[in-house]
């Protein structure tokens, strides 16, 4: 680690190992705190030893909220809807009877599901043949399909750029969707946008059936069902790293297929979404009932802090570290939970020509100021000032990086954050969370020489 970045003494937090029942990872999550929940919990106990309520300010997948929820009341906050859904399912347990689960499953997999599978069948059958050929060594067809997979992204001019068999399958599927659902885009939202790209076409149709049924359930059950669906989607998604930041690139820059990815493509697209959903639903249903009355808020962090004034004993914050906006990694899950017309972002390829983004990203994704170098100092000032106004301590997670090891640069250095925090708090300590390293995405130039001091914890009191 670059010693110039760490001018304060660093103490390592030693924490007892606790029951694994409260360690919970509902989705594959970039920067997950799964491995350091004990140091975080111990740090909060240190600044707020009375067991008072804690506001988990950037709750994400809910891992920290889940870990805290057995000993304290938790207020989980995030600006993304998928996070609200996950935290709600974890913290505000809903009991569904076996009869209610059977009734939901029958509704989700009834005639509407058969119709979706029928609509998807031209592309699903074509994909199955491509996968069979790939298993026998002919990988070109599946590479072409993944590169041109999204039905929503196809335009008339693009059909001429692919093989006649793929073009025919796309047109036939589009015609069947239009004939069956007209302008009701939500009924085949995942199939139309993300089928073939992140999921097989069959998996996409299964997700659509589950989503349509879940969004028509009562508010009491909806978050539990949606959480089970997006957990299943996160497990099945066919990407490197199991995130949604970008689809697999099946060919290298030289145009040659990446044959080492074929096994992964075959494995991921073989998952049965309905079976995964059932497994995840049982996992959520088996969570212990909460001992406290927890709250889940979807809001900007500063707005949320004004809502919790007088109701918390400490704030835990885990803002983003780098220029990578988290909304890009979970945009598909966000669309599933909002069940809206996402509006696809475009990229300019020629002076007068735009095309849909390769990842089919939402046009109106949240762009965190913590991920923008020019805005990050102001965002931290806003965070520190808002917590100071509550007159409670702040526990802040942040990941340093060693610039001499080509790690992915952080938007702000540890020294900059520490100096800024001291303007708002009387005492600022830095603690080490122990020897861990973080995933470096899949950019090779950022993957060398991992730093095992990958997480620091600031105590601001």
| CB-CB contact of 421 with 319 (8 Å) | no
Token representation of residue 242:
């199991």
What's the Cα-to-Cα distance from 61 to each of 38, 259, 272, 276, rounded to whole Å? 17, 33, 23, 18
Q: What is the pLDDT of residue 393?
A: 98
CA dist 6 to 12, 316, 419, 444, 457, Å?
14, 22, 11, 26, 13
Cα distances from 86 to residues 26, 42, 231, 447, in angstroms, run 7, 24, 9, 30
pLDDT of residue 443: 42
pLDDT tens per residue across span 188-232: 999 999 999 999 999 999 999 999 999 999 988 999 999 999 999
Which residues 6+ apart lie within 8 Å of 424 measured at CB? 381, 384, 385, 387, 388, 460
Residues of the chain with pLDDT under 50: 1-22, 402-405, 435-452
Q: How far apart are CA 245 and CA 371, in angstroms?
A: 15
Could you report the per-residue pLDDT of 238-284, keeping only the tens digit for each? 998 899 998 999 999 999 999 999 999 999 999 999 999 999 999 99
Distance CA 241, CA 441 (A): 7
Residue 17: the pLDDT is: 38
Class for the domain spanning 3-93+294-323+372-460: alpha beta
| Contact predicate 220/261, CB 8 Å | no
Question: What are the CA-CA distances from residue 193 to residues 1, 148, 205, 365 (Å)?
Answer: 43, 11, 11, 16
Q: How far apart are CA 379 and CA 390, in angstroms?
A: 17
Collect contacts of 107-110 with beta carbons under 8 A, ≥24 apart.
Answer: 107/213, 108/209, 108/210, 108/212, 108/213, 108/214, 109/209, 109/274
H or E stretch at 210? helix 201-215
- 99 touches 319 (CB < 8 A): no
Question: What pLDDT does residue 143 have?
Answer: 96
Domain with CATH 3.40.50.150 in the chain: 3-93+294-323+372-460
pLDDT at 437: 41
pLDDT value of residue 354: 75
pLDDT for 351 equals: 65
Query: Quick check: helix, strand or coil at residue 298?
Result: strand
75: β partners: 55, 295
**Other beta carbons less than 10 A from residue 303's beta carbon:** 12
């Amino acid at each position: 680690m670059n010693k110039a970045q760490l001018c304060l003494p660093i103490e390592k937090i030693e924490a007892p190992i606790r029951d694994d029942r409260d360690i919970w990872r509902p989705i594959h999550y970039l920067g997950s705190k799964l491995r350091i929940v004990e140091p975080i919990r111990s740090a909060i106990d240190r600044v707020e030893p009375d067991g008072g309520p804690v506001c988990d300010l950037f709750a994400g997948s809910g891992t920290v909220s889940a870990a805290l929820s057995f000993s304290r009341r938790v207020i989980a906050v995030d600006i993304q809807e998928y996070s609200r859904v996950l935290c709600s399912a974890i913290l505000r347990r809903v009991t569904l009877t076996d009869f209610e689960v059977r009734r939901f499953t029958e509704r989700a997999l009834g005639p509407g599901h058969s119709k979706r599978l029928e609509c998807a069948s031209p592309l699903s059958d074509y994909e199955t043949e491509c996968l069979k050929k790939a298993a026998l060594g002919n990988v070109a067809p599946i590479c072409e399909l993944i590169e041109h997979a999204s039905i929503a992204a196809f335009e008339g001019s693009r059909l001429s750029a692919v093989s006649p068999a793929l073009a025919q399958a796309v047109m036939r599927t589009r015609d069947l969707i239009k004939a069956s659902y007209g302008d009701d885009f939500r009924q085949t939202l995942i199939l139309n946008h993300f089928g073939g790209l992140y999921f097989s076409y069959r998996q996409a149709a299964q997700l659509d059936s589950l989503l349509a049924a879940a969004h028509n359930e009562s508010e009491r059950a909806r978050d539990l069902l949606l959480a089970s669906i997006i957990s299943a989607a996160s497990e099945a998604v066919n990407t490197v790293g199991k995130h949604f930041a970008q689809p697999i690139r099946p060919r290298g820059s030289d145009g040659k297929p990446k044959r080492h990815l074929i096994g992964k493509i075959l494995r991921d697209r073989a998952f049965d979404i309905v079976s995964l959903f059932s497994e995840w639903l049982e996992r959520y249903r088996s969570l212990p009932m909460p001992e406290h009355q927890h709250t889940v808020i979807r809001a900007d962090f500063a707005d949320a802090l004004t809502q919790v004034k007088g109701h918390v004993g400490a704030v835990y914050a885990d803002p983003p570290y780098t220029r990578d906006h988290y909304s890009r990694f979970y945009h598909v899950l966000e669309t599933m939970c909002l069940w809206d017309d996402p509006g696809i972002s475009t990229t300019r390829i020629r002076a007068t020509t735009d095309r849909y983004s390769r990842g089919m990203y939402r046009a109106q994704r949240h762009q965190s100021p913590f991920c923008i170098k020019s805005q990050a100092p102001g965002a931290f000032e806003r965070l520190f000032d808002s917590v100071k106004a509550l007159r409670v301590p702040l526990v802040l997670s942040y990941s340093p990086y060693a610039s001499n090891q080509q790690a992915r640069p952080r938007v702000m250095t540890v020294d900059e954050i520490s100096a800024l925090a001291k303007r708002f708090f009387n005492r600022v300590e830095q603690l080490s969370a122990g020897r861990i390293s973080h995933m470096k995405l899949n950019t090779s130039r950022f993957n060398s020489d991992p730093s095992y001091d990958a997480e620091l914890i600031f105590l601001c009191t």
